[in-house]
Homo-oligomer: A and B are copies of this chain.
Protein backbone atom coordinates (compact mmCIF):
# COMPACT_ATOMS: atom_id res chain seq x y z
CA UNK A 1 0.00 0.00 0.00
CA UNK A 2 2.81 2.41 0.73
CA UNK A 3 4.74 1.82 -2.47
CA UNK A 4 4.39 4.47 -5.15
CA UNK A 5 5.76 4.65 -8.66
CA UNK A 6 8.42 7.31 -9.12
CA UNK A 7 8.74 8.91 -12.56
CA UNK A 8 11.92 10.85 -13.39
CA UNK A 9 10.74 13.79 -15.47
CA UNK A 10 13.00 15.03 -18.29
CA UNK A 11 13.47 18.69 -19.04
CA UNK A 12 11.16 19.88 -21.79
CA UNK A 13 12.48 20.09 -25.34
CA UNK A 14 9.64 22.28 -26.58
CA UNK A 15 10.31 25.97 -26.86
CA UNK A 16 6.75 27.11 -27.18
CA UNK A 17 5.22 26.01 -23.91
CA UNK A 18 1.99 27.97 -24.38
CA UNK A 19 1.21 26.16 -27.65
CA UNK A 20 2.10 22.82 -26.12
CA UNK A 21 -0.13 23.54 -23.10
CA UNK A 22 -3.08 24.36 -25.36
CA UNK A 23 -2.50 21.10 -27.28
CA UNK A 24 -2.44 19.12 -24.03
CA UNK A 25 -5.67 20.80 -22.87
CA UNK A 26 -7.40 19.85 -26.14
CA UNK A 27 -6.28 16.23 -25.78
CA UNK A 28 -7.57 16.14 -22.19
CA UNK A 29 -10.87 17.60 -23.39
CA UNK A 30 -11.23 14.78 -25.94
CA UNK A 31 -10.46 12.21 -23.27
CA UNK A 32 -12.86 13.78 -20.78
CA UNK A 33 -10.11 14.27 -18.19
CA UNK A 34 -10.04 17.42 -16.04
CA UNK A 35 -6.54 18.45 -14.96
CA UNK A 36 -6.19 20.51 -11.77
CA UNK A 37 -2.86 22.27 -11.12
CA UNK A 38 -2.34 22.90 -7.39
CA UNK A 39 0.37 25.35 -6.32
CA UNK A 40 1.66 26.99 -3.13
CA UNK A 41 4.73 27.81 -1.04
CA UNK A 42 6.50 24.93 0.70
CA UNK A 43 4.50 23.86 3.74
CA UNK A 44 1.22 25.62 2.98
CA UNK A 45 -0.72 22.38 3.23
CA UNK A 46 -1.15 21.16 -0.37
CA UNK A 47 -0.92 17.47 0.54
CA UNK A 48 -3.22 17.63 3.57
CA UNK A 49 -5.77 19.64 1.58
CA UNK A 50 -5.64 17.10 -1.26
CA UNK A 51 -6.25 14.18 1.10
CA UNK A 52 -9.40 15.91 2.38
CA UNK A 53 -10.60 16.82 -1.10
CA UNK A 54 -10.01 13.32 -2.48
CA UNK A 55 -11.75 11.59 0.42
CA UNK A 56 -14.80 13.81 -0.10
CA UNK A 57 -14.86 13.23 -3.87
CA UNK A 58 -13.61 9.72 -4.52
CA UNK A 59 -17.05 8.08 -4.32
CA UNK A 60 -18.37 10.50 -6.96
CA UNK A 61 -15.57 10.72 -9.52
CA UNK A 62 -12.44 8.79 -10.47
CA UNK A 63 -9.30 10.60 -9.34
CA UNK A 64 -5.56 10.16 -9.96
CA UNK A 65 -2.74 12.22 -8.47
CA UNK A 66 0.71 13.30 -9.64
CA UNK A 67 2.97 14.59 -6.87
CA UNK A 68 5.82 16.71 -8.22
CA UNK A 69 8.86 17.04 -6.03
CA UNK A 70 12.52 17.81 -6.48
CA UNK A 71 13.40 14.80 -4.39
CA UNK A 72 11.75 12.31 -1.98
CA UNK A 73 8.37 10.55 -2.28
CA UNK A 74 7.01 11.61 1.12
CA UNK A 75 3.86 13.23 -0.31
CA UNK A 76 2.93 10.52 -2.81
CA UNK A 77 3.11 7.90 -0.07
CA UNK A 78 1.01 10.06 2.27
CA UNK A 79 -1.72 10.53 -0.35
CA UNK A 80 -1.81 6.88 -1.36
CA UNK A 81 -1.95 5.71 2.25
CA UNK A 82 -4.66 8.17 3.25
CA UNK A 83 -6.92 7.87 0.20
CA UNK A 84 -6.10 4.57 -1.55
CA UNK A 85 -6.23 6.21 -4.98
CA UNK A 86 -3.71 6.00 -7.83
CA UNK A 87 -0.77 8.27 -7.01
CA UNK A 88 2.56 8.67 -8.77
CA UNK A 89 5.58 10.72 -7.79
CA UNK A 90 7.21 12.94 -10.40
CA UNK A 91 10.85 13.75 -9.71
CA UNK A 92 11.83 17.00 -11.37
CA UNK A 93 15.57 16.52 -10.88
CA UNK A 94 16.07 19.95 -9.30
CA UNK A 95 13.67 21.81 -11.61
CA UNK A 96 11.62 24.46 -9.85
CA UNK A 97 8.41 24.05 -11.86
CA UNK A 98 6.56 21.83 -14.33
CA UNK A 99 5.70 22.86 -17.87
CA UNK A 100 3.20 21.25 -20.26
CA UNK A 101 5.58 18.64 -21.67
CA UNK A 102 6.72 17.58 -18.19
CA UNK A 103 3.08 17.33 -17.12
CA UNK A 104 2.36 15.21 -20.20
CA UNK A 105 5.15 12.80 -19.15
CA UNK A 106 3.36 12.39 -15.85
CA UNK A 107 -0.09 11.93 -17.40
CA UNK A 108 1.26 9.17 -19.65
CA UNK A 109 1.90 7.16 -16.51
CA UNK A 110 -1.70 7.42 -15.31
CA UNK A 111 -4.61 5.29 -16.46
CA UNK A 112 -6.51 8.17 -18.07
CA UNK A 113 -9.33 5.96 -19.37
CA UNK A 114 -10.32 5.40 -15.75
CA UNK A 115 -9.79 9.01 -14.65
CA UNK A 116 -12.21 11.97 -14.48
CA UNK A 117 -10.00 14.25 -12.41
CA UNK A 118 -6.19 14.27 -12.61
CA UNK A 119 -4.51 16.39 -9.95
CA UNK A 120 -1.00 17.78 -10.28
CA UNK A 121 0.60 18.90 -7.02
CA UNK A 122 3.22 21.29 -8.36
CA UNK A 123 6.63 22.07 -6.77
CA UNK A 124 6.32 24.24 -3.63
CA UNK A 125 7.23 27.65 -5.05
CA UNK A 126 5.25 30.88 -5.56
CA UNK A 127 7.42 32.15 -8.40
CA UNK A 128 8.37 29.78 -11.22
CA UNK A 129 5.30 27.51 -11.45
CA UNK A 130 3.22 30.63 -12.16
CA UNK A 131 5.22 31.28 -15.31
CA UNK A 132 4.55 27.96 -17.03
CA UNK A 133 1.13 26.83 -18.27
CA UNK A 134 0.95 23.11 -17.44
CA UNK A 135 -2.00 22.47 -19.75
CA UNK A 136 -4.31 22.35 -16.73
CA UNK A 137 -8.04 23.11 -16.89
CA UNK A 138 -7.84 25.16 -13.72
CA UNK A 139 -5.19 26.60 -11.41
CA UNK A 140 -5.69 26.54 -7.66
CA UNK A 141 -3.28 27.92 -5.11
CA UNK A 142 -3.06 27.70 -1.35
CA UNK A 143 -1.92 30.61 0.79
CA UNK A 144 -1.60 29.69 4.46
CA UNK A 145 -2.29 32.13 7.30
CA UNK A 146 1.28 32.01 8.74
CA UNK A 147 2.65 33.29 5.41
CA UNK A 148 0.88 36.62 5.83
CA UNK A 149 -1.80 38.64 4.05
CA UNK A 150 0.73 40.67 2.04
CA UNK A 151 1.81 37.82 -0.24
CA UNK A 152 -0.44 38.79 -3.18
CA UNK A 153 1.51 42.07 -3.34
CA UNK A 154 4.85 40.26 -3.41
CA UNK A 155 4.05 37.33 -5.74
CA UNK A 156 1.56 39.02 -8.09
CA UNK A 157 1.79 36.64 -11.06
CA UNK A 158 0.86 33.56 -9.01
CA UNK A 159 -2.28 35.23 -7.67
CA UNK A 160 -3.24 36.61 -11.09
CA UNK A 161 -3.31 33.19 -12.84
CA UNK A 162 -5.36 31.29 -10.23
CA UNK A 163 -9.07 30.50 -10.52
CA UNK A 164 -9.30 29.69 -6.81
CA UNK A 165 -7.20 30.80 -3.82
CA UNK A 166 -7.65 28.61 -0.75
CA UNK A 167 -6.62 30.35 2.47
CA UNK A 168 -5.47 27.50 4.69
CA UNK A 169 -4.70 27.12 8.42
CA UNK A 170 -7.47 29.51 9.49
CA UNK A 171 -7.54 27.66 12.84
CA UNK A 172 -4.26 29.30 13.86
CA UNK A 173 -5.26 32.82 12.72
CA UNK A 174 -5.52 34.05 16.38
CA UNK A 175 -1.78 33.42 16.82
CA UNK A 176 -0.72 35.39 13.76
CA UNK A 177 -1.02 38.99 12.65
CA UNK A 178 -3.24 38.01 9.70
CA UNK A 179 -6.01 40.25 8.33
CA UNK A 180 -8.45 38.19 6.22
CA UNK A 181 -10.24 41.20 4.73
CA UNK A 182 -6.96 42.79 3.74
CA UNK A 183 -5.83 39.46 2.26
CA UNK A 184 -8.97 39.17 0.11
CA UNK A 185 -8.54 42.80 -1.02
CA UNK A 186 -4.90 42.11 -1.94
CA UNK A 187 -5.89 38.99 -3.93
CA UNK A 188 -8.68 40.82 -5.79
CA UNK A 189 -6.38 43.76 -6.57
CA UNK A 190 -4.31 41.23 -8.55
CA UNK A 191 -7.18 39.11 -9.83
CA UNK A 192 -10.76 40.36 -9.41
CA UNK A 193 -12.18 37.03 -10.65
CA UNK A 194 -10.37 34.78 -8.16
CA UNK A 195 -12.64 32.74 -5.89
CA UNK A 196 -11.29 33.00 -2.33
CA UNK A 197 -12.17 30.20 0.08
CA UNK A 198 -10.91 30.02 3.71
CA UNK A 199 -10.23 26.45 4.85
CA UNK A 200 -8.58 24.42 7.58
CA UNK A 201 -7.15 21.32 5.88
CA UNK A 202 -6.23 19.78 9.24
CA UNK A 203 -9.83 19.72 10.49
CA UNK A 204 -11.58 19.76 7.11
CA UNK A 205 -13.37 23.07 7.80
CA UNK A 206 -14.40 24.83 4.57
CA UNK A 207 -13.13 22.04 2.31
CA UNK A 208 -16.66 21.02 1.25
CA UNK A 209 -17.20 24.41 -0.44
CA UNK A 210 -14.11 23.85 -2.56
CA UNK A 211 -15.04 20.27 -3.49
CA UNK A 212 -18.50 21.52 -4.55
CA UNK A 213 -16.82 24.09 -6.77
CA UNK A 214 -14.47 21.46 -8.17
CA UNK A 215 -17.21 18.92 -8.85
CA UNK A 216 -19.13 21.54 -10.85
CA UNK A 217 -16.00 22.50 -12.78
CA UNK A 218 -15.23 18.86 -13.66
CA UNK A 219 -18.82 18.22 -14.69
CA UNK A 220 -18.97 21.33 -16.92
CA UNK A 221 -15.63 20.38 -18.52
CA UNK A 222 -16.86 16.88 -19.32
CA UNK A 223 -20.16 18.24 -20.63
CA UNK A 224 -18.32 20.62 -22.94
CA UNK A 225 -19.79 23.75 -21.39
CA UNK A 226 -16.41 25.37 -20.83
CA UNK A 227 -13.34 25.61 -23.04
Contact = CB atoms under 8 A, between A and B. Distances in A.
A126 interface: yes
B146 A172 contact: yes
A175 B203 CA distance: 13
Interface residues of A, number: 34
Given A43-B151, A94-B157, 13 more contacts: A41-B124, A41-B147, A70-B154, A71-B156, A74-B153, A94-B131, A96-B96, A124-B126, A124-B127, A124-B154, A124-B155, A125-B126, A171-B175
Contact of A125 (B43, B127, B172): B127
Given A128-B127, A146-B172, A172-B146, A153 B42 contact: no
B154 A69 contact: yes
A147 B42 contact: yes
Interface of A: 41-43, 69-72, 74-75, 94, 96, 123-128, 131, 144, 146-148, 150-151, 153-157, 169, 171-172, 175-176
A172 B175 CA distance: 7
